[in-house]
Each structure stands twice: as structure tokens, then as C-alpha cells.
Amino acid sequence: MSNNKDSIRTPLGHARGLGSSKEGTHHWWMQRVSSVALVPLSLYWLTCLPEMTTGTYAHFISWVGSPAVSILAILFIITSFYHAALGLQVIIEDYITGEGMKLSLLMLNKFTFIALAASCIFAILHISFSLHTYEAP
Amino acid sequence: MTNSSRPLSPHLQVYRWQVTMLLSILHRMTGFGLAAGAVLVAWGLLAAASGAEAFMTFHNFTASPVGRLMLLGWAWAFAFHFLNGIRHLVWDTGRGLTIKQAANSAWFVLILSAIATLGIWCLANCEGN
């Protein structure tokens, strides 16, 4: 450990414990944290399947636009898309060997999921804040 | 890689398939598939926000044979990734890591994921209409 005379790691580097990639176990840990959050969140969405699949537009809008469902939808979008981006990152790092291609795909991965999440959250808020215009005959 | 004379570890095809390695790769594949499903979620929500006509286009796709098949695939991918994810979380606590336990939990997850897929399919189709 820190008393190891053969170690070339500085005492500060050892105390930080972030390793050569400089982020330590942050990625691994956030993958776990998001997965724990997704257990109740995704179970909630399973119970909503009958609501979601009735197929009538007015029903779907008034259901998804209600405050509780909108908030849970946004929480689910943020958590699941974050979890997905973390997972895809590992797949890219494992299988893409060219540095240029790897770096490009890692960026594209982040941009895509942030854009998708922003689109979903905008859509949910738009429906929720203008329910009266959707429900007008 | 420039150094081609380095020894290579034996590749996948020399190993006898075991249920634990099947679940390992399935976890990654279902995760990838579910991530791709984010596009469908975004499409559905944006269509709903755009109006009844756009929503019907989305609904018609999900009700088409291809759409139904994709939804069935996602239902299983979700069930499997959810259950196997819990298996991973249990491993993270240091439990269930012997070869026998890992193989048993693998079969358990495989069978339960098939049953759960049926349950999800019923929930989405039987009560909704």
C-alpha cells in the first residue's frame, strides 16, 4: 500500500485513488447507482402498460400530462438514458480500437443521448403545460 | 496493432459454451437493444406532443407486424436485462459467486425472463383494449 517502497505512485495519487484514467470507479459506481434507481422506476412503468397501450390519443395525452406521471416520466428518461449512455460507452471502449474512431463515437454517444433526453423532456413538459389546448375539441 | 507476433489468447470458438458466458453476452446485447429503444421512446413522445395525426403514425407503426415484433423483442430484452441486472447487483455484494451458484442463477434468470415477457405482453395487450 502507501508504505510500499517499490511503488512509483505519489502519496497524493495514492490518496486520491483515481488510477491512470483519472476517474477511479466513478463510471462503474454510477452504472450501479442508476441501475438501483431504475428498479422501482421501470417497475412503475410496467404497471402503466395498460394505460399506455389503449391507443386513443386523448387518453394518452391526459394521462402522460398529469403532474405525477410527467415527473416520473422525466425521472425515468434521465436515469435510463444516462444508464444507456454509460453502457454504450463501455461497448465502444471494448470493441473500437482506432483512437480517432473511438473518440468520435464516445462523443457521438454522449451527444445523442443528451439530445434524445432533451427531446423527450421537452415533449413531456410541452404536453403537461398545454393540456388544455390538447383537450379542446 | 503493430506488434502482430505477440501471443494471442484463445478466441471464443475454442471454448465449450456455458450458460454463464451466454448470459454475459446477452446482457450486453439486450442493453444495446434497449439503448436503441430510446429512439422509439423519443419518437413516441415527440409525436404525442405534435398532435393526433403524428401520434397515429407512431401508433400505426407499433401496431404493424414489424412494430409488434420489435416490441416483443424489447419486452424480452427489458425482462432479461432487468433480472440479470439484479443478478449483477447481488454479485456486487459478494454473494452468489461460486460456479454452481452462478450457473443456477443464470438458468433462473433465463426461465424467469421468458415468463416475465409473457406477463408484460399480457399487461400491454389484454387489459389495454
CA proximity to B24, closest of B98, B102, B101, B95: B102
- DSSP-assigned letter for residue A136: -
Q: What is the mean pLDDT of chain B?
A: 92
To probe the interface with A, which of B2, B27, B29, B45 has the most A CB atoms within 10 Å? Answer: B45
Cβ–Cβ contacts within 10 Å for residue A116, how many? 22
B89-106, pLDDT tens digit by residue? 999 999 999 999 999 999
B28 or B9: whose pLDDT is higher?
B28
SS3 call for A7: coil
Q: How far apart are CA A50 and CA B55, in angstroms?
A: 17
- Regarding pTM above 0.80, the answer is yes
Cα B105 to Cα A31, A35, B76, B79, distances in angstroms: 21, 19, 17, 15
Nearest-Cα residue of chain A relative to residue B121: A49
CA proximity to A78, closest of A41, A47, A131: A41
Amino acid at A71: I
Alpha helices, DSSP H, located in chain A = 11-16, 26-47, 49-52, 57-64, 67-95, 99-129, 131-135
B45 vs A53: CB contact, 8 Å cut-off?
A: no
**Exposed / middle / buried, residue A78 (Cβ in 10 Å: 0-12, 13-18, 19+):** middle
Q: What is the mean pLDDT of chain A?
A: 90
> Would you say residue A20 has pLDDT above 80?
no
Question: Which chain A residues contact residue B29 at CB under 8 A?
Answer: none
Contact (Cβ atoms closer than 8 angstroms) between residue A50 and residue B119 = no
Contact (Cβ atoms closer than 8 angstroms) between residue A31 and residue A83 = yes
CA A92, A96, A99, A100 torsion-angle sign: negative
- Nearest CB to A55 within list B46, B59, B86: B59
B22-37, pLDDT tens digit by residue? 999 999 999 999 999 9
The answer, for B55 touching chain A at a CB cutoff of 8 Å, is yes
SS3 call for A19: coil
Q: How far apart are CA A123 and CA A115, in angstroms?
A: 12
A56 or B39: whose pLDDT is higher?
B39
Q: How far apart are CA A22 and CA A13, in angstroms?
A: 10
Question: Which chain B residues contact residue A80 at CB under 8 A?
Answer: 38
